[in-house]
Homo-oligomer: A and B are copies of this chain.
Amino acid sequence: MKIIKTKIQIFNKSQNAFGPGKADLLVAISHYGSISAAAKSMNMSYKRAWDLVTTMNEVFQQPLVTTQIGGSHGGGATVTPFGQNVLRLYQYAINNSERYIDAQMSDLLKLLN
């Protein structure tokens, strides 16, 4: 089976601003309503998830994730409307891009066994 794997990452001032890992994390936070539960569901350390959230919130014009009072592990987390919009724009762009790349690579794929 012939498969094309594409990884698209956005850098801002040489910081890794957004990519597949952060997109998956936003989806999980949105689902679980908590950074720690989201991290656990992705087999990611809480620290790593928190670092990714901090970076996202810094590099964009508005926060993508807000946390509620209740201690670092205790409170809930919410993906803001701004964060949902970032996620939607990214997923839409990725889907279109993958379709486009598949078409672009079709002549090359024909040369594989």
User: How many copies, total?
Assistant: 2
Q: Which residues of B contact A59 (CB under 8 A)?
A: 112-113
Q: Does A48 contact B (CB under 8 A)?
A: no
Identify A100's interface contact among B1, B7, B11, B100, CB under 8 A: B100
Binding site for B on A (CB under 8 A): 1-14, 17-18, 58-62, 82, 85-86, 89-90, 92-93, 96-97, 100-101, 104-105, 107-109, 111-113
Pick 22 A–B contacts, CB within 8 A, sort by A: A1-B14, A2-B11, A2-B12, A3-B11, A4-B10, A5-B8, A5-B10, A6-B7, A7-B7, A8-B105, A10-B112, A12-B112, A18-B108, A61-B112, A82-B111, A85-B111, A86-B108, A93-B101, A93-B104, A93-B108, A96-B104, A97-B101
